[in-house]
């Protein structure tokens, strides 16, 4: 589950041009303010990637992060030198702590292709909550949202960095194969590579059941942060 390993160094340049991490963090914080019953402000960002959400969360929380990708964690450690970051699998980790908030954003949970993996991940995250704490998970696309045959394209045009990334999709039942073709240009060097990712389109009922199995009171926001939905679980006090 080392997602975006090859593109770790260029990941931020691509997504900062299309995604407002600060605004999304503010939305998540607003949900936490409405739902949380615990009194603290400790937050664990699971699948934190390069640390852009974690950085924004520092405005309100004592933040820690966790990810399986060494490349992305290396970028996050440069961005957040004073934040504790764990190299771990979201389905089976133990930080030895409990948190008021646990987040798993930007569809990271979608790379768990088997629903049993999703159940384990949600249960593991729930175990790290304090009583009254909040778990917020952002899934990948629902089946009806996938446009088969579509090609995505993103471009970055900075003085010393040029990126063209084109992505094609292939659907196999509930599993989607993404092929991300990169061309990355820097002074005196142009690099080409392809990353292959897989994402699962688990159903709303499957996600809701995962939260219930973890012992959480769950609600579902169909819109969420970017139209992919949001699952909000609260641990009973």
Give 36-94 pLDDT, tens digit per residue.
999 999 999 999 999 999 999 999 999 999 999 999 999 999 999 999 999 999 999 99
| Structural contact between residues 231 and 110, judged by C-beta atoms closer than 8 angstroms | no
| Structural contact between residues 151 and 167, judged by C-beta atoms closer than 8 angstroms | yes
Q: Quote the pLDDT of residue 142.
A: 92
Give 149-206 pLDDT, tens digit per residue.
889 999 999 999 999 999 999 999 999 999 999 999 999 999 999 999 999 999 999 9
β strands within the chain, DSSP E: 42-46, 62-67, 84-87, 99-104, 129-137, 151-158, 161-172, 175-186, 189-200, 217-221, 230-234
| Structural contact between residues 67 and 125, judged by C-beta atoms closer than 8 angstroms | no
Q: Give Cα 219 distance to the centre of its chain.
A: 19
Give 123-136 pLDDT, tens digit per residue.
999 999 999 999 99
Residues in CB range of 187: below 8 A, 6 or more apart: 160
| Structural contact between residues 126 and 132, judged by C-beta atoms closer than 8 angstroms | no
Tell me what percent of the chain is helix, strand and coil, each rounded to the nearest 5.
30, 35, 35
Give 106-120 pLDDT, tens digit per residue.
999 999 999 999 999
Q: Quote the pLDDT of residue 3.
A: 66
The span from the CA of 43 to the CA of 57, in Å, is 8
Written as six digits, the tokens of 93 are: 């980790």
Question: Is the pLDDT score of 1 beyond 50?
Answer: no
Give 200-230 pLDDT, tens digit per residue.
999 999 999 999 999 999 999 999 999 999 9
Question: Is the pLDDT score of 2 beyond 70?
Answer: no
Q: Quote the pLDDT of residue 4.
A: 83
Domains and CATH numbers, the chain: 8-142+201-234 (3.40.50.150), 143-200 (2.20.130.10)
Could you tell me the pLDDT band of residue 5, with boundaries at 50, 70 and 90? Answer: confident
Mean pLDDT, all residues of the chain: 96
């Amino acid at each position: 589950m080392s997602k975006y390993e090859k593109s770790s160094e260029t990941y931020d340049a691509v997504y900062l041009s299309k995604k407002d991490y600060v605004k999304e963090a503010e939305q998540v914080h607003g949900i936490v303010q409405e739902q949380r019953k615990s009194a603290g402000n400790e937050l664990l960002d699971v699948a934190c990637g390069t640390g852009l959400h974690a950085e924004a969360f520092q405005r309100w929380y004592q933040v820690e992060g966790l990810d399986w990708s060494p490349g992305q964690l290396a970028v996050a450690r440069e961005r957040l030198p004073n934040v504790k970051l764990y190299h771990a699998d979201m389905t089976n980790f133990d930080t030895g702590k409990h948190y008021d908030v646990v987040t798993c954003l930007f569809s990271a949970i979608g790379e768990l292709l088997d629903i049993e993996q999703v159940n384990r991940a949600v249960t593991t995250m729930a175990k790290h909550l304090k009583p009254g704490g909040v778990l917020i998970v952002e899934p990948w696309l629902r089946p009806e949202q996938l446009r088969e045959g579509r090609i995505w394209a993103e471009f970055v045009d900075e003085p010393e960095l040029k990126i063209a990334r084109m992505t094609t999709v292939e659907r196999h039942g509930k599993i989607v194969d993404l092929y991300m073709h990169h061309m990355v240009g820097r002074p005196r060097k142009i690099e080409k590579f392809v990353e292959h990712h897989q994402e699962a389109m688990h159903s709303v009922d499957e996600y809701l059941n995962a939260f219930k199995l973890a012992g959480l009171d769950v609600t579902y926001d169909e819109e969420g942060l970017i139209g992919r939905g949001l699952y909000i679980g609260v641990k009973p006090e």
